C-alpha cells in the first residue's frame, strides 16, 4: 500500500470509530453527537481526491467502509437497555449509506475538480450528504422497510410529530433525518476553510 495514503486512511478510520461511539449519545432532541463528527469523512475524502486523485480517494473510502463494518459487528454484540446497540437495519443503513455517499462524492468531485477551488468540495459534499442521510434513515427506520428485520420494532421512529417540533406532522425519523441533514449542510460550508488551508499548505510544500 502506498504510504502516502496512511494519513487519509487513519483519519477516516478515526472519524468512523468516533462517530460510531458518539452516535450513542444524544445532543438535544433531534441529534446525536455523532452527527457532528461523521460529516468530516467527506472532508477527508475530498482532500485525498484533490491531493492524490480519485483512485486514492476510493481506497480511503473502502478503508472507512471496512472499519464501519467492524464497528457494526462489534455493536451487534453489545447489549443496551433495549437490545443490541446496533441492529441489522442500522448496520445495513450505515454501511450502504456510507459507501454510496462517499463514492458519489468522489465521482462528483472528480467531475468538478477543474472549476473554482470551492465548487468541487462543496457540491460533492452536499450531494453525498443528501444521499447519505436519505439512505441511512430510510433503511434504518422507515416502516416501509420493516421486512428487512421483522423482529426489530422501530415503531417509535414512526410516531407522528411536527417536523423538528415546528412544521407539518411527519414520522419522527423524518425529523431526525432533517436535523442530521441540516448539520451536514452547515459543516459542508465550514469544512471549506480547512480544505483550503490544507490544500494550500500541501501544494506549497510540493512546490
C-alpha grid cell, residue 193: 476553510
Reported CATH class of domain 3-206: mainly alpha
The domains of the chain are located at 3-206
DSSP 39: T
Is the whole model's pTM more than 0.75, yes or no?
A: yes
| Residue that wins the pLDDT comparison between 76 and 15 | 15
| Cβ contact 69:114 at 8 Å | no
Q: Tell me the pLDDT tens digit for each residue of 89-133.
A: 999 999 999 999 999 999 999 999 999 999 999 999 999 999 999
- Rounded CA separation 115/130 (Å): 22
CA-derived radius of gyration, the chain: 18
| Residue 205 pLDDT exceeds 80 | no
CB atoms within 10 A of CB 194: 12
Report the sign of the C-alpha dihedral through residues 176, 129, 192, 118, in that order.
negative
| Cβ contact 67:13 at 8 Å | yes
C-alpha grid cell, residue 198: 490544507
Amino acid at each position: 500500500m502506498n504510504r502516502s495514503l496512511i494519513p487519509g486512511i487513519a483519519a477516516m478510520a478515526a472519524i468512523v470509530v468516533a462517530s460510531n461511539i458518539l452516535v450513542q449519545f444524544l445532543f438535544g432532541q433531534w441529534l446525536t453527537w455523532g452527527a457532528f463528527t461523521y460529516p468530516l469523512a467527506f472532508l477527508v475524502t475530498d482532500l485525498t481526491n484533490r491531493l492524490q486523485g480519485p483512485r486514492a480517494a476510493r481506497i480511503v473510502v473502502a478503508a472507512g467502509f471496512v472499519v464501519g463494518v467492524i464497528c457494526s459487528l462489534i455493536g451487534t454484540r453489545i447489549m443496551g437497555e433495549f437490545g443490541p446497540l446496533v441492529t441489522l437495519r442500522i448496520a445495513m443503513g450505515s454501511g450502504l449509506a456510507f459507501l454510496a455517499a462517499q463514492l458519489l462524492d468522489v465521482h462528483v468531485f472528480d467531475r468538478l475538480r477543474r472549476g473554482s477551488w470551492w465548487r468541487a468540495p462543496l457540491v460533492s459534499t452536499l450531494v453525498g450528504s443528501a444521499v447519505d442521510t436519505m439512505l441511512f434513515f430510510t433503511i434504518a427506520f422507515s416502516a416501509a422497510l420493516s421486512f428487512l428485520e421483522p423482529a426489530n420494532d422501530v415503531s417509535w421512529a414512526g410516531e407522528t410529530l411536527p417536523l423538528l417540533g415546528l412544521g407539518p406532522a411527519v414520522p419522527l425519523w423524518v425529523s431526525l433525518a432533517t436535523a442530521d441533514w441540516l448539520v451536514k449542510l452547515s459543516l459542508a460550508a465550514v469544512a471549506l476553510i480547512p480544505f483550503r488551508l490544507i490544500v494550500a499548505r500541501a501544494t506549497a510544500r510540493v512546490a
